[in-house]
Structure 1
């Protein structure tokens, strides 16, 4: 056997292979399959089980916590279905947790012409027993529906209250004068109410507090009764609570998860989307933290 000849043939064969077009060369197109780690698969299964259990748990908690709202919203009562809205879900829940406490509303010209003779209850669940009505705003503003609403609420035997909307950058004594000249309070009415919720643009907060104090003192001197102070919870806690600890407070808080009135709130405005027969559109609803016997102590004598 001639080994050199075999070697020469091998070299020639390799030369021919190099000269072949690239596309004729066979290459493997199979990609290696990634190895699935058993630990990762188990972790993913546990993760999804925990997610599902979390959703189920939240659903059960929600159903138990807001059972009254759910029952109301999904009830098949035809009379309720006619005017039912999603906002009534929370209203029904709040009312269920305050049985025995007084429920009321507050209105202004934004509610238009109210048919006071038809105003009787909130979603058919709780009787309305008091009405708080906007009277004045700033140094010269007067609510154009105040006189009609004041008369209508009184004629239909609601406990009445009048409130002044405080404008932070206007003279506090002139604002007090505007309220006094517009509102006549009699025995059985709520004390005068000051609504303070806006921040000043032309003065610091300490000057605002002094102005609010002047309004309260002036109005108290005229009516011989200490006014009620209205504000949002954050505004009151941050800017008013330390300056006016001795005043009856009316707090606005619409937080969905706040379902019960706090002990130091005498009044709680819990929604601005209430539904009441006799009023077109939405209206603010309130809880008084007490009974009829309790509120009599607060009323003008």
Structure 2
């Protein structure tokens, strides 16, 4: 099946998933229900054997499969996720969209976070940042809707240029961006007792001098090259290597991510970073 047909089958043509991604469509409160795809139909070199990719990159020696630990991030676009199947296929963590800006809650977060915990998959929440609302208000909104829960992953700040937003395409200068990031991150650190992870994209990282934004672990998007090539000199912890992955138990296409380390390093990371 072609990539175009795969997207049609997934029911995702109109939602335009890019990175973790914002919700540019009207928020109606219901979960979307794209179709399940079979990873066996989308096997690709360099992709972990239990997963697939509808639009794979030719990775060569820098393939994601060289990492032992992989996980997903998702929003309402994937509908309800069968985390039992996902875990059996090697999914070892999940971050789910919880909030956006200061007035949106993703309806997939509550049911899918419950499903993940029931299946024994470490799960956490991410917030999609909106540049037309103060960071302090966004932090309050996230904290209001994401309870502190022992055993969950640290929260994530998803910060990227949202060029598809119908209401806010503002691009503040780097100094303002970093100041707002600090406000948001400090508030979440104080509330959850652990420092959030920062998810970002190549252009945003470059435009806002995030190479020098110290003190936080990074989750970097790079779907055509390893992070070392796209974010030179930057230490990363998580790598989003595709936005078109096929994962058992997940409807449609999915973002798939690698942890930088082996299984032992992953266990150590969880011991240090899970909420208490």
Report what 2:202 is aligned to.
Answer: 233
Report what 2:76 is aligned to.
Answer: 109
Which whole-Å CA distance do the structure 2 matches of 1:152 and 1:175 have between them? Answer: 26
| Higher RCO (C-alpha under 8 Å, 6+ residues apart) | 2
Describe the SS at the equivalent of 1:164: strand
Report what 1:211 is aligned to.
Answer: 180
Q: CA deviation at 1:242?
A: 4.8
Q: CA deviation at 1:177?
A: 0.6
Unaligned runs of 5+ in 2: 1-42, 163-168
Answering whether residue 273 of structure 2 is matched by residue 298 of structure 1, we say yes
Describe the SS at the equivalent of 1:155: helix
**Could you tell me which of 93, 108, 128 is aligned with 1:145?**
108
Q: CA deviation at 1:217?
A: 0.9
Superposed CA offset, 1:265-287 (max 9, x none): 10000000110111121000001
Which whole-Å CA distance do the structure 2 matches of 1:144 and 1:96 have between them? Answer: 32
Contact 2:75–2:108 (Cα < 8 Å) also in 1: yes
Report what 1:87 is aligned to.
Answer: 55
Cα distance change on mapping 1:226 and 1:177 into 2, 3 Å:
same
Which whole-Å CA distance do the structure 2 matches of 1:234 and 1:203 have between them? Answer: 14
Residues paired across the two proteins, number? 217
Q: CA deviation at 1:85?
A: 5.4
Q: CA deviation at 1:240?
A: 4.6
Q: Name which of structure 1's ranges 87-96 and 208-217 shifts more when overlaid on structure 2.
A: 87-96
Describe the SS at the equivalent of 1:220: helix
**Could you tell me which of 167, 176, 181 is aligned with 2:139?**
176
* CA RMSD of superposed structures (Å): 2.9
Describe the SS at the equivalent of 1:280: coil
Contact 1:97–1:259 (Cα < 8 Å) also in 2: no
Q: CA deviation at 1:84?
A: 5.9
Answering whether residue 233 of structure 2 is matched by residue 288 of structure 1, we say no
Superposed CA offset, 1:180-223 (max 9, x none): 01112322221111000026627434223222211111111111
Which whole-Å CA distance do the structure 2 matches of 1:141 and 1:84 have between them? Answer: 31
Which whole-Å CA distance do the structure 2 matches of 1:226 and 1:140 have between them? Answer: 23
Cα distance change on mapping 1:214 and 1:120 into 2, 3 Å:
same
The structure with the greater share of residues assigned to helix is 1
Which whole-Å CA distance do the structure 2 matches of 1:260 and 1:185 have between them? Answer: 33
Cα distance change on mapping 1:84 and 1:155 into 2, 3 Å:
closer
